[in-house]
Amino acid sequence: MNYIQLEKLGEGTYATVYKGRSRTTNELVALKEITLDPEEGTPSTAIREISLMKELKHINIVRLHDVIHTETKLVLIFEYCESDLKRYMDTHGDRGALDAMTVKSFMYQLLRGTAFCHENRVLHRDLKPQNLLVNRKGELKIGDFGLARAFGVPVNTFSNEVVTLWYRAPDVLLGSRTYSTSIDVWSCGCIFAEMISGIPLFRGRDNQDQLLHIMRVVGTPHDSVLRKIANDSPEVQLKVFPKYPKVPYQTILPKATYLAIDLLERMLQFEPSMRIAAADTLRHPYFAPSQPQVSPTNAYTATAAQQRPAAHSVAYQQATAAVAANSQATPHAPAVPGQQYYQPAVAQQMAPAQPGQNPGLYQFTMSYPTQMAAPAQQMQQQYPVAGVQSQQQYGTQDYNMYTAPR
């Protein structure tokens, strides 16, 4: 085998995961080793995971490098990530709760990866903090596609034994087998709330108890909603539930902003058809650029895409595009007069932020037509600027501003 096994990282139902290193590239990898039963052969979960992950190539999805198949075992070679979200929250959070900018960064990456899965007609079906990996650059990646399924039209009938209980959608808890992408959105909403507060939002002991935990927060749905779920899923057997009033999320998550609560509300709708789509969450105002933060987050390097200067208004679509492009940013080119004056920060010129470390200086680049250089002076009053470099070319004035937390 072209990989050296270094240390055991964890053990699951049908696999053991080791930290490893490539003999050829010296790159760290994760080795997921599955012992094969001579009578049963390769587990269906492994076959499913391999077939789906070979097709899903995205920065927010763990990359499958290689598969090694012998008579006695199957080894899946994945890119290596230093932590998972659960451990990251335990070690970097305030009693598990992450700071607002880190929550926003991780949430955007989670939803972007989930939206990519859905665009490629894949349901993950087991989104939870333990299955979300985080590397030292603060990149979040969706892993463990052992329960994932491809879906098509018309809607297939699936098993209702999916998703760890605390992150399971109410329609699945009711017994629905005709669910779709909305079950992943519900799980993302539960993870969102957990990152904000540090504790799982709904902690039931079994299906019935989990439903009651949900209803105590979102309120008992109207009978018409329950009937609609039953009509869409004939296997659902309706029961009589206590009548609980809705509890405002502000009382449960007092640290959350209004926009965070609004997005959470749209994700945690009891009725599946009312839940916001993963792709639509990326356009929610919660992810719009915010005002400069006093201290950059430890999870990722702050960029101009998240920090909009007051002197210039930026279209929301452009701003979110800048966020999405951050990981693939190219060197800054001079702005052309008459075109967009706002450029994402140059990734290569920024010291990478690492979990648990202060990124220190961070940079953003702004370009203005030469005759509009005055707004740049205003920016120095808006930001804690540590230094400014500028150059004039092609009729534009380019400003590289290096800022640091006060």
Residues 50 and 88 in one domain: no
**% of the chain at pLDDT higher than 90:** 50
Q: CATH number, domain at 227?
A: 1.10.510.10
- pLDDT the model gives residue 323: 46
Residues 53 and 139 in one domain: no
Tell me whether residue 163 is in a domain.
yes
Examine the fold and report which residue of 51, 79, 107 is the final residue of a domain before the chain moves on: 79
- Asked if residue 323 lies in contact with residue 360, where contact means CB atoms within 8 angstroms, the answer is no
Examine the fold and report which residue of 237, 267, 286 is the final residue of a domain before the chain moves on: 286
Tell me whether residue 376 is in a domain.
no
Tell me whether residue 36 is in a domain.
yes
Give the total number of structural domains in the chain.
2
Tell me whether residue 305 is in a domain.
no
Residues 38 and 182 in one domain: no
pLDDT in tens, 193-217: 999 999 999 999 998 899 999 999 9
Residues 74 and 101 in one domain: no
Tell me whether residue 7 is in a domain.
yes
Binding residues for ATP: 32
Residues 20 and 102 in one domain: no
Average pLDDT over residues 52-69: 93
Residues 35 and 111 in one domain: no
pLDDT in tens, 152-198: 644 444 554 455 899 999 999 888 877 789 999 999 999 999 999 99
pLDDT in tens, 361-387: 334 344 434 444 444 444 444 444 444
Residues 19 and 49 in one domain: yes
Report, as residue numbers or ranges, the catalytic residues.
126
Domain with 9 in it: 3-79
Q: What angle do CA 281, 90, 97 make, to 5 degrees?
A: 50
Tell me whether residue 378 is in a domain.
no
Tell me whether residue 51 is in a domain.
yes
Examine the fold and report which residue of 49, 79, 109 is the final residue of a domain before the chain moves on: 79
Tell me whether residue 314 is in a domain.
no
Q: CATH number, domain at 64?
A: 3.30.200.20
